[in-house]
Structure 1
Amino acid sequence: MKKTVLTLAFAAAAAASALPSMAWAMGAQEAVNVMAKNHYVAPHDLQKQYGYWTAEAVSNDGVRATVLVNDANGSFTAVRKADVGTALPSVERVARQVRAAGYSFVYDVELDDGFWQAKARQSVTNREKVEFVLHPVTLEVLSQVGRSGGTVNGQPVLSADQIVAALQQAGYTRVRGVEYEDGYWEAEATNTANLAVELRVDAVTGAVLREQLDD
């Protein structure tokens, strides 16, 4: 049977596991309905992240955009890179917002997958890299995570050291390469079968979500 774009979108949503420990109020069908009511169709790459359903979609007049639907209240935002500096904040304004949070060095500011992303360090002496995710319009901080932990949508995120401890408690050894990526902690380790594996770990609970052989 031929799969429709909508079917593929739902399949992607079912497979999506961004921030898996969070509860979601809105289902995929409801999110797609909100997009359609706002005149965006053919959604694909539908996923849940940072409190929003996101997808790539096309407006009725043929304009492509990344669209966001707030999971809590159903509000809709269409994000186009061409709008940066006009309908959307400029890169410099995003950098100022992060600096106002107490970070002297802000870099790698970009609009990616519908959200502003930036990296920052507090000072010359405190060189811990913190990764920010901000709302594309309001610049609300949705995620702020470094090796010492942080928050995502107000939920505390475990630190890198806590992730190492959780993996060791679960039986993994030689835990290394712990990095925070796209809402998860990623790590390399040796499992109980003495195999080198790559791990994806829930950032909030420390549970192993995926284990695959290290290439």
Structure 2
Amino acid sequence: MAPGAPAQSHKNGAQAETAGTVATLTQAEVRELLAAQGFTRVDDLEFEDGMWEAEATSADGKRVDVRVDPASGKVYTEGQVSRLGAEDIKARLAAAGYSRIHDVEYDDGLWKAEAERPDGREVEVRLDPQDGRILGVEND
């Protein structure tokens, strides 16, 4: 699958593609990763929209939504503070060749935006809140 192609949804950890990188984290590996970072009571873990998603209890006892990048294993939690603003995200997407960028929002620890790829397809793009790296692209 080419970079920018839509990610495939797999509920059981089969290979999935996100931003051009084949991900191999299985559901069991994601559970181990979350446990190693202090999360407990991991519920509803599933691969959706190019990322592993779950509800978990954080080390401080709060219930939070978590997302895990299937390629890097980086964990994103709701309430996480972004170092970037909406204009930074628009600039990064434009530099990556996207146009008609709109509906840029920070939600559940990730930046999300609607945009048009160079081939004219409408997509939703998810980006890292710290460096603006594209984590996943889904057909809209």
Unaligned stretches of 5+ residues in structure 1: 1-17, 147-179, 181-215
* TM-aligned CA distance change 1:26 to 1:132, over 3 Å: closer
Q: What secondary structure is seen at the aligned counterpart in 2 of 1:62?
A: coil
Q: Deviations over 1:119-142 (max 9, x none)?
A: 12479xx97533322234333223
Query: How far is the alpha carbon of 1:106 from its aligned partner?
Result: 1.7
Distance 1:127 1:76 in 2: 30
Aligned pair count reads 123
CA contact (8 A) 2:68 2:74 kept: yes
TM-superposed deviation, 1:93: 1.6
Describe how 1:57-206 pairs up with structure 2 within 5 A. 57-72=56-71, 75-81=73-79, 83-84=81-82, 86=83, 89-121=84-116, 129-144=122-137, 180=140
User: How high is the TM-score relative to the length of structure 1?
Assistant: 0.45
Could you list the structure 1 runs, at least 4 aligned residues long, displaced by more than 4 angstroms after superposition: none
Cα distance in structure 2, aligned partners of 1:67 and 1:95: 24
Q: Give the percent of matched residue pairs that are identical in Structure 1 and Structure 2.
A: 29
Structure with greater helix share of residues: 1
Gaps of 5+ in 2: 1-7, 17-23
Computing the radius of gyration from Cα coordinates, the structure with the larger value is: 1
Tell me, what secondary structure is at the counterpart of 2:67? strand
CA contact (8 A) 2:45 2:54 kept: yes
Instruction: Show the counterpart of 2:9.
Output: 19
User: Are residues 58 and 145 of structure 1, via their aligned partners in 2, closer, same or farther at CA, if it must alter by over 3 Å?
Assistant: closer
Structure with the bigger RCO (C-alpha within 8 Å, sep 6+) is 2
Aligned to 2:31: 32
TM-score of the pair, normalised by structure 2: 0.63
**Do the aligned partners of residues 63 and 93 (structure 1) sit closer, same or farther apart at CA in structure 2, a change above 3 Å counting?**
farther
Inter-partner Cα distance in structure 1 for 2:32 and 2:43: 14
* SS of aligned partner of 1:138: coil
Once the 2 structures are TM-superposed, how far is the Cα of residue 43 of structure 1 from its aligned partner? 1.8
Question: Kindly tell me: are residues 119 and 46 of structure 1, through their superposed partners in 2, closer, same or farther at Cα, counting changes over 3 Å?
Answer: same
8 A Cα contact 1:69 1:76, kept in partner: yes
How far apart are residue 39 of structure 1 and its match? 0.8
Describe the superposition over 1:154-194 as per-residue Cα deviations: whole angstroms up to 9, x where unpaired.
xxxxxxxxxxxxxxxxxxxxxxxxxx4xxxxxxxxxxxxxx
Q: Distance in 2 between matches of 1:105 and 1:60?
A: 40
